[in-house]
């Protein structure tokens, strides 16, 4: 029993350490890696759960990926699982920053390092595009969700609206649309019952 519990913590730590080690570009770029590792490979979360965690992670203070790791760890093994997962995802960054903090200014001027980082950014963009496409197929299911997606994209890219406002507005619109949909379904059932 103790061995199983310990193995669960080791699995949580190593999974999130791996995600933290091989993800570049911040929280949003971690979404494809989180999806592949936690949904497809480990099957610890469903796609709906990871999207919910990611949405909540954007609305709560802190780094999105750390918040998602905390939520997943809590689901798998309670408070101690949340702590282990959070340490796992933060640890690689802490190690790398500790090792290169003193000499980063010397490396940033080297041309081949700049070119290598541009290559990494291209891969991150491709991974993000894949995640958007994969999740978009499951989330955009009607005119309301399509409208929210288009509106959110335009608000961010054209009018430079804060992400917090977009998430709040999208949540309110989705909530209202669901209430209207439920009301129509209820009245439709009443009409059928009368007949």
Query: pLDDT tens-digit profile of 101-152?
Result: 666 667 667 787 778 778 877 877 787 787 778 778 878 888 998 999 999 9
- Higher pLDDT pick, 165 / 98: 165
Helices (H), 60-142: 64-100, 104-108, 111-139
User: How far is the C-alpha of 144 from the C-alpha of 51, rounded, in Å?
Assistant: 18
Q: Can you give the pLDDT at residue 193?
A: 64
Q: CB neighbours of 30 closer than 8 A, spacing ≥ 6?
A: 19, 23, 64, 65, 68
| Rg, Å, the chain Cα set | 21
Contact 124, 29 (CB under 8 A): yes
1: pLDDT strictly greater than 60: no
Backbone torsion region of residue 57, taken as left when φ is above 0, otherwise alpha when ψ lies between -120 and 50, otherwise beta: alpha
194: pLDDT strictly greater than 70: no
Query: pLDDT tens-digit profile of 62-114?
Result: 777 888 889 999 999 899 999 999 999 989 888 877 777 666 667 667 787 77
* % of residues, the chain, pLDDT over 90: 21
């Amino acid at each position: 029993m103790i061995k199983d519990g310990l193995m669960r913590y080791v699995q949580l730590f190593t999974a999130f350490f791996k995600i933290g080690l091989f993800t570049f570009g911040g929280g949003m770029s971690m979404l494809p890696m989180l999806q592949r590792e936690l949904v497809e490979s480990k099957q610890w979360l469903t796609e709906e759960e990871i999207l919910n965690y990611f949405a909540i992670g954007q609305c709560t203070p802190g780094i999105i990926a750390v918040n998602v790791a905390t939520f997943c760890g809590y689901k798998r093994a309670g408070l101690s699982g949340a702590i282990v997962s959070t340490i796992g995802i933060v640890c690689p960054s802490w190690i790398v920053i500790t090792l290169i903090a003193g000499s980063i200014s010397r490396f940033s001027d080297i041309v081949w390092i700049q070119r290598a980082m541009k290559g990494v950014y291209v891969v991150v963009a491709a991974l993000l595009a894949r995640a958007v496409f994969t999740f978009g197929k499951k989330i955009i299911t009607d005119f309301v969700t399509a409208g929210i997606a288009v509106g959110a994209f335009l608000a961010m890219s054209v009018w430079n609206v804060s992400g917090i406002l977009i998430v709040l507005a999208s949540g309110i619109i989705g909530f209202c649309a669901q209430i209207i949909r439920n009301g129509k379904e209820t009245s439709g059932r009443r009409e059928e019952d009368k007949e």
